[in-house]
Chains A and B, each alone.
Chain A
Amino acid sequence: MKHLILLVVSLVSLVANAQTNFETGMQKAFALWQDNKVTEAEQLFERIAAAETDQWLPNYYVAQINSLKSWGEQDATVLKANLDKAQEYLNTAKGISTNNADILVLQAQVYTNWVAFDGMTYGMKYSGKITELYNKAYAIAPENPMVVLGKAEWGMGSAKYFGQDTAPFCKDIAHALELFVNFKPESPFHPKWGEDRAKQVLASCEE
C-alpha cells in the first residue's frame, strides 16, 4: 500500500512538475513579450518549441512574432527572412496539430503579409489561398472570433477594392465582437487576440 501511494504521488508530482515547467516557461515568455522584450520572448518560445516537440503553441508564437515583425520592416531582405522564419515554424506547428483553425488563420496572415509586401508578385499567388484558408478555418471553428474577424476583414478588403458593398462584412465583424465576449480559449496559452482590432474595424464601418 505504502509503495503504491509513494508511486502514485511521485508520478503525480512528476507530471505536475513537467506541466509546471511548460507553464512557467510560457508564462515567462509572455511576460517578456508584455515587457516589449520581443527578441527574448521569441527566443524563449523557440527554446520551448525545441524542447517540447509535441506542443504547437510555442511554434505558433514564434511564427506570430515573426509575422508581426515583418509589418514595420523596411529592409526587404530582413522582411523576407522574417516571413520565411514564420513559415518554417508554422510548418512545424501544422505537423503537430492538424486541422487547427488558429494555425490556419495565422497562415492566412503570413500570406497576407506577403501580399502587402509585394502585391504584384504575391497577390495572384496567395489571394486564392488566403480565402481558402479562412473558409477552411471557418468550417472547423465557426465560433472562434479570430476566425470570424480574419475572414471578414479579408472579405472586406477585396469588396472595398472592387467597390462592392462592405455592409455584410461589418455585420460579421460585429458578430466576431459578440463572440469575443464569451470566448474561452482552451488554456491560458491558447491564442486570444484581435478584440481591439475588431472594435477598430467596426468603428470604421460606422463612419
Chain B
Amino acid sequence: MKKLQLLLNLVCIFTVSVGFSQTLISGRVTDAKHNPIAGANVYIQGSYDGGTSDDSGVFSFKTTETGVQTLIVSFLSYETYSETAHISAFQDVDIKLREDVNALDAVVLSAGTFSAGDNSKVNALSSLDVVTTASAMGDFVGALQTLPGTTTVAEDGRLFVRGGEADETQIFIDGIRVFTPYTPTTNNVPSRGRYSPFLFDGITFSTGGYSAEYGQALSSVLLLNTIDEPEQNKTDIGIMSVGGALGHTKKWEKSALSVNGSYMNLGPYIKLFPGRNDWDKPFQSFSGEAVYRRQFSKGLFKLYTAYEFSQFELTLEDIDYEDGIHYKLNNKNTYVNSSYQGKLNANWSVFAGASYTNNNSDVDVIDDAVDNIEHSVHAKARLKYRFNNRFKLNFGTEYFLTHFNEKYSSPSIDTESYGFDNNIAAAFTEADVIFTKQLALKAGLRAEYSQLFKAFEVAPRVSLAYKTSAKSQLSLAYGSFYQNPNNDILKFSQNIDSEETSHYILNYQFNVEGRLFRAETYYKDYNNLIKYDTEYASYTSNFNNDGYGYAKGIDLFWRDNVSLRNFEYWVSYSYLDTERDYKNYPTKAQPNFANAHNLSVVGKYWVEDWKSQIGFSYSLASGRTYTNPNETGFLNQKTKTYNNLSLNWAYLMSPQKILYVAVSNALDFKNVNGYQYASTPNSNGVYNRRALKPAADQFFFIGFFWTISDNGTDNQLDNL
C-alpha cells in the first residue's frame, strides 16, 4: 500500500514536471511614435510568467502556459494593451502602447473654467484657499472675487462676471440649482453666500463657455460639490465677534450625518463700531444646515438641507428724505437638495437629483409693505455612457419650476397681489471626445422650452483644447446661452421673452509644477435684453426685449506656490470693455456695475515658528459709472478708483484650537461706490448729491474655533 502511494506521488511529481514544457514569448514595446518603452510589464494573463521590457523596448520570457492565452502589456500612464491568441503567436510581437488620455499630463478643457479642489488636474485655487483668503471673511463667494473675470462691486457682494449682472451667474450644489444663494442685506452692506464653505470640497467657477448641462445662466456658473465622506466624528465650536456656531459630525459604517447651527448678531459689534447706518435692529440671523450621505455598493446618496432666518431694521440715508427711509426686512429661507450618483455597470452611470427652495421675505419701506413668497423646484436626471476612455456621451433632462407671489400694500392704495409661474423644461446632450493626449473636444446641445413664454430655444456649446507643449495648452470655446428675466421683471410682465448671449473665448494656459499662468480673451454678444420705460420696473411699465449689448476683455491670472518658501500668492487682472442698452437706458452705455480695470493680489505666508498663517489681499478697481444730472449725458461720470487691503492671521494654538483675526480695508481707504442725486434741483438749479459709501470703511473679525474629535488632530482651519 505504501509503495503504491509513493509510486503515485512520484508519478504526480513527474507528470507535473513534464507538464512544464516551455514556450518563449518575445517582442518589442514602443509608443505611437516608435520610441521604445522601457520598464513595461509584459505577461500572460492569469499566470506569473512575464518579463520587463529593456531600454530598447525588447522583452522575452518563457511560459509554461499552452493553448489560447492573453498577453498583457502595462505601463504607467499608458493604456493597458491586451491581445488574445494562441501562445505560439506571441513571438517577435510588435506592441504599440497608446497614451492614457486620462493621465495627469493630458490636455484638459480649460476655456472659461477655474477649478478649486484637490481632484482636478489644474487648480487655480485649492479648497483651503477659498476659506483662507483675507478679503473673503469666510465667504466662499468672496474668495472667487479675487479671480479674473469678476468685477469689484463692493457694496453688493455678489458675483458680477464679465460685464454681466449678478443674477446672470447661477450657483449649483451637487449639480442642482440654488435659487436664492445670497443672504439679504441693505444696499450698502455686501451680501454673503448663504452656505458655509466647509461643506464643499470641490468648486468649479466658470466665467463663460460652460457645458450644455447648465442653462438659465447668461454669464457664469458656480458649481459646488459637497464633501462625499467626512473624516471622523467631531464637534466644532466657534465663538466669534459677531456670533457663535456649533456643529457635530457623526459617522457610521456606510453613512454620515453633519449638522451645524449658527447665530449671528451684529448688535454688539455695532455698539463698538457704529459705522454709517442708523440701526433700529441690527442684523441678526439664525441658520442651520444638515448633510446626510449614504454609500451604496454602486453609488452615493446625499441629502443637504438648510434653513436660515434673518432680520434687520434701520433708517437708510437718502438725499430726498431728510429723516431717511425706514427699512425693515424679515427673511426665511429653506433649501433642500438631494442627489444620487452611481454606476449602473462598467459603461453606464446615472445621476438624479432635485432641490426645493422656499423663500419668504417681508420688507417694509416707510409705510409700504412688500411681502413675497417664492417656491422653486429643480429636478434633473442625467445618464453618462462611456464608450471607452476616449469617447463619452452625456445626456439628460431637467425641469425648473418657480411659483412667485407678491403682495404690495400701502396706506394710499388697496393691497395688490401679483405673481407668476415660470416653468422651464430642458434636455441636453454632450459628447466628450479625446482624440489624443494633445487634442480634446466637448460638443453639446441644449434645448429649452419655457411654458411661460411658450417659446422653444436651442443652444449649442462647443469647446476645444490643444496641448501646445508639455506645459502649455490653447483652448477655444463657443456657446449660446438663454435666461428668463428675473423675478423683479417677471412679476410685472410675462408678455416678454428670454434674454440671450453668445460667448467666444480663447484661452492660453501655462502650467509648471506649483506655477500657473492663464490668459483668456473673450467676446460676449447680448441680445433680447429687457427694456422698460419707467424709472423703476413696475406694473405701469411697458416691457420689451429690444435691449442689447456686448462685453469684451482680457483676463490674466498668475499663481506661484513655490518660488518663495512658505509663501503662496496669486495675481489677477481683468480688462473689461462693455456697453449695453437695457432697462430704462436712453442709450447704449457702460453700466454702473462694470468697470474697465480690476486687479487682485492675494498672498499667504506660513510662519513655522509662530504656527501661523498670515495673509493679505489687495484689490484695486477703476471707477464705475454714474449719472450726474447737472451735466448732459447718461452714465456720464466715473467714481474714483477703489482700493482695499485686507489682512488676516490664523494662529494654530494647539492641534485643535485656532485663533483667527481679520481686518478688511486695513489702510482705511475712503471708498465711494457711487452717488445719489436729488430728484429735483435746489434753488440754484443744481442737483445735490450724496456719496454712496460702505456701511463701515473697515470691518474687524475675531474668532476662536475649537474642534473636539476622537483623535485630537482635526481642526477648523478649513472652516475659516
Contacts and interface: CB of A to CB of B under 8 A. Distances in A.
Interface of A: 2, 5-6, 9-10, 13, 17, 21, 25, 28, 39-40, 43-44, 46-48, 50-51, 76-77, 80-81, 85, 120-122, 124-125, 127-129, 131-132, 135, 158, 161-162, 164
B654 A162 contact: yes
B568 A9 contact: no
Contact of B48 (A5, A47, A120): A47
B709 A128 contact: yes
Contacts of A125: 118
B4 interface: yes
A15 to B, nearest CB: 12
Contacts of A135: 710-711
B50 A44 contact: yes
A51 B47 contact: yes
Contact of A131 (B9, B13, B76, B711): B711
Interface in B653-701: 654-655
B101 to A, nearest CB: 14
B24 interface: no
A91 to B, nearest CB: 14
Kindly list the 9 A-B residue pairs having the minimum CB-CB distance in the complex, ordered from nearest.
Answer: A131-B711, A43-B41, A128-B231, A128-B714, A13-B12, A25-B48, A76-B513, A47-B43, A131-B713
Given A85-B76, A135-B711, A47 B126 contact: no
A128 B12 CA distance: 55
B417 interface: no
A124 B715 CA distance: 8
B45 interface: yes
A135 B16 CA distance: 48
Contact of A158 (B41, B606, B713): B713
B52 A48 contact: no
B62 interface: no
B48 A44 contact: yes
A9 B9 contact: yes
A164 B712 CA distance: 13
A13 B13 contact: yes
Interface on chain B toward A: helix, strand, loop, or mixed SS?
Answer: loop
B232 A9 contact: no
Nearest to A131: B711
Interface in B24-63: 39, 41, 43, 45-50, 52
Given A13-B13, A135-B711, A162-B655, A43 B104 contact: no
Interface in B499-516: 513
A50 B45 contact: yes
Contacts of A132: 231-232, 710-711
B232 A128 contact: yes
Interface string B602-621: 00001000010000000000
A5 B710 contact: no
A28 B231 CA distance: 39
Interface string B547-568: 0000000000000010000001
Nearest to A126: B231
B77 interface: yes
A129 to B, nearest CB: 5
Contacts of A85: 76
A120 B568 contact: yes
A50 B231 contact: no
Given A77-B104, A121-B118, A121-B128, A51 B50 contact: no
A5 B12 contact: no
B402 to A, nearest CB: 38
B434 interface: no
Contacts of A43: 41, 43, 50, 52
Contacts of A5: 1, 4-5, 8
A139 to B, nearest CB: 11
17 contacts: A10-B8, A17-B16, A46-B41, A47-B47, A47-B48, A47-B49, A47-B50, A51-B45, A51-B46, A51-B47, A120-B568, A127-B713, A128-B709, A129-B232, A131-B714, A135-B711, A158-B655
A9 B8 contact: yes
Contacts of A9: 5, 8-9, 12
Interface in B562-578: 568
B647 to A, nearest CB: 20
Contact of B561 (A10, A25, A120, A124): A120
A124 B128 contact: yes
A91 B661 CA distance: 41
Contacts of A81: 76-77, 103-104
Interface of B: 1, 4-5, 8-9, 12-13, 16, 39, 41, 43, 45-50, 52, 72, 74, 76-77, 103-105, 118, 126, 128, 231-232, 513, 561, 568, 606, 611, 652, 654-655, 709-714, 717-718
B61 to A, nearest CB: 10
A6 B11 CA distance: 11
Contact of B8 (A6, A50, A127): A6
Interface on chain A toward B: helix, strand, loop, or mixed SS?
Answer: helix
Given A28-B48, A43-B43, A132-B231, 12 more contacts: A9-B12, A13-B12, A21-B48, A39-B39, A40-B52, A51-B45, A51-B48, A122-B118, A127-B714, A131-B711, A158-B655, A161-B611
Nearest to A132: B232
Contacts of B104: 77, 80-81
Contacts of A50: 43, 45-46, 72
Contacts of B46: 50-51
Contact of A47 (B41, B710, B718): B41
B252 to A, nearest CB: 14
A116 to B, nearest CB: 15
Contacts of A161: 611
A80 B514 CA distance: 14
Contacts of B711: 128, 131-132, 135
Nearest to B561: A120
A149 B104 CA distance: 34
A13 B7 CA distance: 13
Q: Which of A5, A44, A76, A161 neighbours the largest number of chain B CB atoms within 10 Å of its CB?
A: A44
B103 to A, nearest CB: 8
A121 B611 CA distance: 17
Contacts of B611: 161-162
A185 to B, nearest CB: 22
Contacts of A80: 104
B599 to A, nearest CB: 24
Q: Which of B76, B128, B652, B713 neighbours the largest number of chain A CB atoms within 10 Å of its CB?
A: B713
Contacts of A46: 41, 74
A59 to B, nearest CB: 14
A162 B610 CA distance: 10
Contacts of B5: 5, 9
A13 B568 CA distance: 64
A121 B41 CA distance: 33
Nearest to B711: A131
Contact of A120 (B128, B652, B709): B128
Nearest to B39: A39
Q: Which of B12, B49, B74, B568 neighbours the largest number of chain A CB atoms within 10 Å of its CB?
A: B12
A39 to B, nearest CB: 6
B105 A77 contact: yes
Contacts of B568: 120
Contacts of A76: 513
Q: Which of A21, A120, A128 neighbours the largest number of chain B CB atoms within 10 Å of its CB?
A: A128
A72 B9 CA distance: 50
A184 to B, nearest CB: 27
Q: Which of A9, A80, A161 neighbours the largest number of chain B CB atoms within 10 Å of its CB?
A: A9
A164 B657 CA distance: 14
A40 B59 CA distance: 12
Contacts of A158: 655, 713
Contacts of A131: 711-714
Given A13-B12, A25-B48, A77-B105, A128 B513 contact: no
Contacts of B45: 50-51
Given A50-B46, A131-B713, A135-B710, A13 B16 contact: yes
